[in-house]
Chains A and B, each alone.
Chain A
Amino acid sequence: MQFFQKFIAVAMLLSCTFANAGKPKEIFWEDLIPQGHVQIDTQAQANHEGSEQNWVQPDLDAPVVKELNGQSVSLPGFVVPLEGDSEVITEFLLVPYFGACIHVPPPPPNQIVHVTIEGGVPIESLYDAIVVTGVISTETWSGEIAQVGYKMKAVGVAPFEL
């Protein structure tokens, strides 16, 4: 059953690849940081004792790569589920390392992609890395000040293989 679902996911990925008549560009997390921008290494920030600062503002000022807007890409990462039902996940955050939400400070906003996928995708284990294919966009929304981050409309999800 689960193998079957995996197979469907791969098949979906393949079929859309052919439909676009062009391979989606393979990108990695470094490609989401604009060149020349000195990114604070989040892993180095890891602090298990809790930081001195009591409340860190969600810092969404990290710049995004505007050129990626609208491009069809595939990006590997780990899933932090947001929405879905008992079988599938329809909305999730894609992050560069597992446990991005527990032991270490979360990645900066330009290292998180908010993924939505029509119809959802079954994800067996959150411990497994996946490759998401879809159209990435730089999303702008307004809170107290306008903010920007990555969003992706996924068309396919496949298990990540080295």
Chain B
Amino acid sequence: MLLLKLAAKSLFNRKASALLTLFTIAISVMLLMSIERVRIDAKSSFSNTISGTDLIVGARTGDIQLLLSSVFRIGHANNGVSWQSYQYIAKQRGVSWSIPLSLGDSHKGLAVLGTNKDYFTYYRFGKKQLLSFANGHEFNHLFDVVLGADVAKSLGYQLGDKVVIAHGMGNTSFHNHDDNPFTVVGILQATGTPVDKTLHIPLAAIDEIHGGHNHQHEKANDHDHDHDHDQHDAVDLIGTPKQITAFLLGFDSPLYTLQVRRNINQYKDEALLAIMPGVTLRELWEMLSIVEKILLLFSIVVVIISLLGMLTSLLSSLNQRRRELAILRSVGARPWHIFTLISAESLLITGLGCLVGVALFYGLMLFGAGYLQSHAGISLNIALLSAYELMLLAAIMFAGFIVGLIPATRAYFYSLADGMSIKI
């Protein structure tokens, strides 16, 4: 205990270099922890996004492309599924439910999804959780919109507000349809998935904002408002879309999945692709695992470099401290006391470095969580350190201790005379 106190005092005496070493370690610890936390949370928020869906069907493209564009709203599909094919497949034996998805429009950079009411009944995320409403209810009219939690929060929308939906993706559109404002009728509970950043409108309304009906309107101008009103009041929320982006399928039993998947992939009338979300997510992990490993490797290398920095500063300070060590020996300290003193110093620096590093890590997480959520859709879990993270910290502490043994051993072998006599 006394030795630890001595070590702390001695360190304090050399506070400039000790602090710098400490910060190097702290920053490397922060880097390692942040990379690991983001990696793990990114993975879990991806796999939490879809659950309970047996097949995702879209136009033929890559498996991962289809998964990313249909569920995660990353990238976009280049082609759609014809409405006829969707209806044919959705009617097949064994299909218990189907959800059509129509993407490609946006509201202030947030995705607009055209779908049917089944979306609110059957779409599941996380561990087979259903969507629930924080406020309001599902859409019942053509120009009703249901908002994801983040949409409502970041844009400050309330029930009853009017929302204008633009055609196309991006923040602005030169083709705003001010004539078709949507009314907010529901706000969903936060899910931590891309659903939070989505505006849900009836499938038929997608056609409407694309001006499918305006076209008819121009041709028969004298047909005027009555016709228009009829359409708006109709409870037909599906309409007759020509094509949709993708659809989700659920079966009575998962045993149907393999057969139906094969049938869809071999479907002659249209080039379609059916994927099983679980399998494709696995493929995605396998593809990304090399990137993960490289990231981990780099952050470990940074930790090693910081420990080597500590080694350098301890070793170089030993020369300046010959006097100090000799005085300690002369007042009765044994060589192993000196040894313990130097190792205690290295442990102290690493330990404090880890503590400061963890504090910096939490600071960074708090600071970056909002940004990551809104820009990458990764919901960070600002929780206590996991067992894995504690293990990482313990490993760093241990490495710091091992590194500290080198200067400690050298100091051990300095004899009393070494510091007392002045060398030429």
Contacts A/B (CB < 8 Å), 28 sampled: A50-B268, A54-B266, A54-B267, A55-B267, A58-B92, A58-B94, A58-B255, A58-B256, A60-B94, A80-B276, A81-B278, A81-B279, A81-B282, A82-B254, A85-B44, A89-B278, A101-B261, A101-B279, A106-B261, A112-B255, A126-B279, A126-B282, A139-B253, A143-B93, A143-B94, A147-B252, A147-B253, A147-B255
A10 within 8 Å of B by Cβ? no
Main secondary structure of the interface of B (DSSP, over half): helix
Q: Which residue of A lies closest to B89 (CB)?
A: A55
Complex Cα gap A55–B263 (Å): 6
Q: Are A106 and B262 in contact (CB under 8 A)?
A: yes
Give the interface size class of chain A: 35 or more
| Residues of chain B within 8 A of A147, CB atoms compared | 252-253, 255
- Contact yes or no, B278 A85, CB < 8 A: no
Q: CB distance B258 to A107 under 8 Å? A: yes
Q: Decide if A141 touches B44 in the complex (CB within 8 Å).
A: no
B51 within 8 A of A: yes
Give the distance in Å from the alpha carbon of A80 to the alpha carbon of B252 in the complex.
18
Task: Flag if B47 contacts A105 (CB, 8 Å).
Answer: no
Chain A residues in contact with chain B, CB under 8 A?
Answer: 50-51, 54-60, 80-86, 89, 91-93, 95, 100-101, 105-107, 109, 112, 114, 125-126, 139, 141-144, 147, 149
| A-side contacts of B401, CB under 8 Å | none
Asked if A58 meets B259 with Cβ closer than 8 Å, knowing A80-B276, A80-B279, the reply is yes
Q: Is B129 interfacial (CB 8 A cutoff)?
A: no
Most chain B beta-carbon contacts within 10 A, residue among A86, A91, A107, A112: A86
Q: Pick the contact of A59 from B46, B259, B267, B278 — CB < 8 Å? A: B259
B255's partner among A57, A91, A149 (CB-CB below 8 A) is A149
- Report whether B128 and A83 are in contact in the complex, using a CB–CB cutoff of 8 Å: yes
Q: Does B285 contact A (CB under 8 A)?
A: yes
CB interface residues, B 243-294, toward A, < 8 Å: 252-263, 266-269, 276, 278-279, 281-282, 285-286
CA distance A82 to B253 in the complex (A): 12
Q: Contacts A57-B93, A100-B258 given; 17 further ones with Cβ under 8 A?
A: A51-B266, A58-B92, A60-B94, A60-B256, A80-B258, A80-B276, A81-B282, A82-B254, A86-B46, A106-B261, A106-B262, A107-B258, A114-B253, A139-B253, A143-B94, A147-B255, A149-B253
Cβ of A56: which chain B residues have Cβ within 8 Å of it?
259, 262-263
Establish whether residues B255 and A109, one from each chain, have CB atoms under 8 Å apart when the complex forms: yes
- Residue numbers in A under 8 Å from B297 (CB-CB): none
* Chain A residue at minimal CB-CB distance from B391: A1
Q: Is the CB of A83 within 8 A of B278?
A: yes
- Chain B contacts of A144 at CB under 8 A? 93
CB pair A86 B253 closer than 8 Å:
no
Question: Known contacts A55-B263, A147-B252; is A106 also within 8 Å of B47 by CB?
Answer: no
| Complexed CA–CA distance, A55 and B259 (Å) | 10
B96 at interface by CB-CB < 8 Å: yes
Inter-chain contact B93/A58, CB cutoff 8 Å: yes
In-complex Cβ contact of B285 among A86, A114, A139, A149 (8 A): A86
Interface size of B by Cβ–Cβ distance < 8 Å?
Answer: 38
Report the bound CA distance from A85 to B42 in whole Å. 11
Q: Closest residue of chain A to B260, judged by CB?
A: A58
Q: Give chain B residues whose Cβ lies under 8 Å from the Cβ of A50.
A: 266, 268
| Residues on the B chain within 8 Å of A93, using CB | 254-255, 257-258
Query: Are B268 and A54 touching (Cβ within 8 A)?
Result: yes
User: Chain A residue with minimal CB distance to B253?
Assistant: A141
A109 / chain B contacts, CB cutoff of 8 Å: 255, 259
Give Cα distance in the complex from A142 to B94, angstroms: 9
A4 to B96 alpha-carbon distance, docked (Å): 40
Give B44-59 as 1s and 0s: 1 = Cβ < 8 Å from A's Cβ atoms.
1011100110100000
Name the distance in Å between B302's Cβ and chain A's nearest Cβ.
Answer: 21
| Distance of A112 Cα from B251 Cα, bound (Å) | 15
A156 to chain B, nearest CB (A): 21
Q: A58-B94, A82-B254, A114-B254 known; A101 and B52 CB under 8 Å? A: no
Partner of A60, one of B44, B255, B262: B255
Instruction: Return the chain B residue nearest A109 by Cβ.
Output: B255
Instruction: Return A140 CB to nearest CB of chain B, in Å.
Output: 10
CB distance from B127 to the nearest CB of A (A): 8
Contact of A143 with B252 at beta-carbon distance under 8 Å, contacts A58-B93, A101-B261, A106-B259 already known: yes
Task: Give complex CA distance A149, B258 in Å.
Answer: 14
Complex Cα distance, B315 from A1, in Å, reads 35
Rounded to whole Å, the gap between the CB of B337 and the closest CB of chain A is 39
Docked pose: A116 CA to B257 CA in angstroms: 16
Q: Does B43 contact A (CB under 8 A)?
A: yes
A84 & B278 in contact (Cβ 8 Å cutoff):
yes
Would you call B40 and A143 a contact (CB within 8 A)? no
Scan B208-227; emit 1 where CB is below 8 A from any A CB, else 0: 00000000000000000000
CB of B47 within 8 A of CB of A85, answer yes
Give the residue among A56, A82, A93, A139 with the most B Cβ atoms within 10 A. A82
Residues from chain A with Cβ under 8 Å of B94 in the complex = 58, 60, 143
Measured between beta carbons, the chain B residues less than 8 angstroms from A85 are: 44, 47-48, 127
Shortest Cβ distance from A111 into chain B, in angstroms?
10
